[in-house]
């Protein structure tokens, strides 16, 4: 995000209802800028951390004693792909409730496997694995890049060195098959990840590929050195090395580390394309990873801008929702409960006092909602069709896929009404299954009241998704009001 644009956007955001459209567009510009660096959960956490430090928040370590004061602003990174932020009210003796906003920061896509090199006809492809449930065809012919975490050797076996990296200057692509080779493609095509979705990293045989002969202090031998009589044909040691460990040497070159020190990695492909407004009035934002970075961003901006007289505010950003949340950094763990308990114990409060606060507490599960599609209106419920830019949406389900019940829906409706934010209600078409959220898991893990809400979105799980500009801004506004 360019600083000049950032400052300009902040200057024109206002609480004046008459200037809401200007404020909404400015907030949307900031969100689009955020998406440039928020490419995987690791990068999301790093980007949020910079914002929090700039806003005066203090980092607390999970393996240290927490010292917390009144009006304190803190954040915790229990793992590299999850972040928790909390603020404490002025009156430390009136810690009577938690107000929580929870969201996830992972997105459907593809991860790079170990030993990913796959070559044919001098093409270098990468072997990948599906993460979550992306819409495959939307990833074809787009500019892709790689980001995530790399682990390298260290002196302490239990503390390998970690590098959070984004290779944004390296472009990959998944090429479509020409129409002339599949003339039935427009009638529908079943995609096989292992065949159809392999990204092209480049071609072998180019010095410009970054794998020059003096790479990594001479680890890659001179390409003129012969393998001897046991070699296959006239291939050199370097030819073989490049094809079987090409990706490791690419990483080493990019990171300026010895390729042989790389132990493992968790690397994602991501859409490396700029978000943009669409519509004559900039009423819709089109961008990658809107599900669910739109709600995570709105909640994070909200907690950095509000103060509360009493009680504790928490914004929790989890990983792995797209694959079921069953991980140490996912919501289906003890993580949120542990952090809440540690906050209370840092004030020398007893477990009994903590348990008495829970009935007064509330959480908002913030994730995208399904907007009615302009070309497929029959896919939504006939009487509850959520439209973009017509209000923040309360998500409901009779079978408890969402945490919302009639009481918590009423609470959220009244919060919105207090600041004139429009509200919609979403339920599934009765003959179709919808998605799930982290809300029901938080409800069962901690046992407090909660509601599932979100901004209506189009093309959820596509490489490029859509959210209403006003809906994003309204979400941010009601989150601020909720946390006050």
Mean pLDDT value of segment 271-295: 97
Q: Contact, 331 vs 442, CB < 8 A? A: yes
Clarify whether residues 239 and 373 are in a common domain. Answer: no
Confidence of residue 242 (pLDDT cuts 50, 70, 90): low
Clarify whether residues 454 and 322 are in a common domain. Answer: yes
Residue 209: pLDDT over 50: no
Confidence of residue 207 (pLDDT cuts 50, 70, 90): low
Q: Express each pLDDT in 411-422 by its tens digit.
A: 999 999 999 999
Spatial distance between the Cα atoms of 137 and 144, rounded to a whole number of angstroms: 14
Spatial distance between the Cα atoms of 244 and 162, rounded to a whole number of angstroms: 24
Q: What is the pLDDT of residue 203?
A: 87
The answer to whether residue 21 is domain-embedded is no
The answer to whether residue 138 is domain-embedded is yes
Clarify whether residues 315 and 203 are in a common domain. Answer: no
Rg of the chain over all Cα atoms, to the nearest angstrom: 25
Clarify whether residues 64 and 178 are in a common domain. Answer: no
User: Between residues 241 and 308, which one has the greater pLDDT?
Assistant: 308
Domain count across the chain: 2
Task: From 238, 271, 304, give the residue that closes a domain.
Answer: 271
The answer to whether residue 14 is domain-embedded is no
User: Between residues 223 and 168, which one has the greater pLDDT?
Assistant: 168
- The CATH code of the domain that includes 338 is 3.40.630.10
Clarify whether residues 73 and 137 are in a common domain. Answer: no
Clarify whether residues 376 and 242 are in a common domain. Answer: no
Residue 435: pLDDT over 90: no
Mean pLDDT value of segment 329-335: 95
% of the chain beyond a pLDDT of 70: 88
Mean pLDDT value of segment 81-102: 90
Clarify whether residues 128 and 101 are in a common domain. Answer: no
CA triple 116-120-121, angle to 5 deg: 145
Q: Express each pLDDT in 340-371 by its tens digit.
A: 999 999 988 889 999 999 999 999 999 999 99
Task: From 207, 238, 271, give the residue that closes a domain.
Answer: 271
Clarify whether residues 103 and 211 are in a common domain. Answer: no
Domain that holds residue 301: 38-107+288-483
Q: Which residues make beta-bridge pairs with 88? A: 312
Q: Express each pLDDT in 144-157 by its tens digit.
A: 999 999 999 999 99
Residue 253: pLDDT over 60: yes
Nearest alpha carbon to residue 370 among 465, 480, 293: 465
Nearest alpha carbon to residue 250 among 188, 319, 204: 204
Clarify whether residues 334 and 444 are in a common domain. Answer: yes
- The CATH code of the domain that includes 218 is 2.30.250.10
pTM (predicted TM-score) = 0.90
């Amino acid at each position: 995000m360019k600083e000049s644009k950032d400052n300009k956007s902040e200057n024109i955001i206002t609480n004046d209802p008459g200037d809401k459209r200007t404020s909404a567009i400015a907030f949307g510009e900031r969100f689009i800028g955020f998406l440039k660096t928020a490419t995987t959960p690791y990068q999301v956490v790093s980007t949020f951390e910079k914002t929090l430090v700039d806003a005066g928040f203090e980092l607390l370590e999970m393996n240290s004693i927490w010292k917390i004061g009144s009006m304190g602003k803190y954040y915790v990174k229990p793992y590299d792909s999850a972040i928790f932020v909390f603020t404490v009210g002025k009156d430390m003796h009136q810690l009577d409730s938690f107000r929580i906003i929870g969201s996830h920061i992972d997105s459907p896509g593809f991860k790079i496997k170990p030993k990913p090199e796959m070559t044919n006809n001098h093409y270098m492809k990468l072997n990948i694995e599906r993460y979550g449930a992306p819409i495959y065809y939307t990833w074809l012919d787009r500019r892709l890049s790689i980001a995530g975490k790399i682990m390298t050797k260290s002196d302490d076996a239990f503390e390998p060195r970690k590098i959070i990296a984004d290779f944004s200057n390296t472009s990959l692509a998944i090429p479509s098959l020409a129409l002339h080779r599949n003339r039935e493609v427009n009638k529908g095509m079943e995609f096989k990840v292992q065949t159809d979705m392999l990204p092209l990293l480049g071609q072998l045989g180019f010095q410009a590929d970054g794998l020059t002969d003096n790479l990594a202090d001479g680890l890659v031998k001179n390409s003129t050195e012969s393998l001897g009589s046991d070699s296959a044909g006239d291939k050199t040691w370097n030819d073989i090395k490049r094809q079987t460990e090409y990706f490791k040497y690419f990483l080493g070159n990019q990171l300026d580390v010895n390729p042989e020190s790389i132990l493992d990695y968790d690397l994602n492909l991501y859409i490396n394309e700029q978000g943009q407004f669409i519509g004559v009035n900039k009423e819709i934002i089109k961008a990658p990873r809107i599900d669910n970075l739109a709600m995570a961003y709105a909640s994070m901006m909200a907690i950095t801008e509000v103060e509360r007289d009493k009680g504790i505010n928490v914004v929790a950003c989890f990983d792995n929702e797209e694959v079921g949340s069953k991980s140490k950094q996912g919501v289906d763990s003890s993580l949120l409960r542990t952090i809440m308990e540690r906050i209370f114990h840092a004030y020398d409060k007893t477990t009994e006092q903590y348990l008495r606060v829970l009935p007064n507490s509330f959480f908002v599960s913030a994730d995208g909602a399904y907007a009615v599609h302009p070309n497929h209106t029959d896919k939504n419920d006939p009487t509850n069709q959520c439209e973009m830019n017509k209000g923040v949406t309360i998500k409901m389900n009779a079978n408890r896929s969402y945490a919302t019940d009639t009481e918590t829906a009423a609470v959220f409706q009244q919060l919105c009404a207090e600041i004139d934010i429009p509200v919609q209600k979403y339920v599934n078409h009765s003959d179709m299954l919808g998605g799930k959220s982290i809300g029901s898991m938080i409800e069962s893990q901690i046992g407090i009241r909660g509601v599932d809400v979100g901004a209506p979105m189009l093309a959820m799980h596509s490489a490029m998704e859509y959210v209403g500009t006003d809906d994003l801004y309204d979400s941010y506004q009601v989150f601020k009001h909720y946390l006050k």
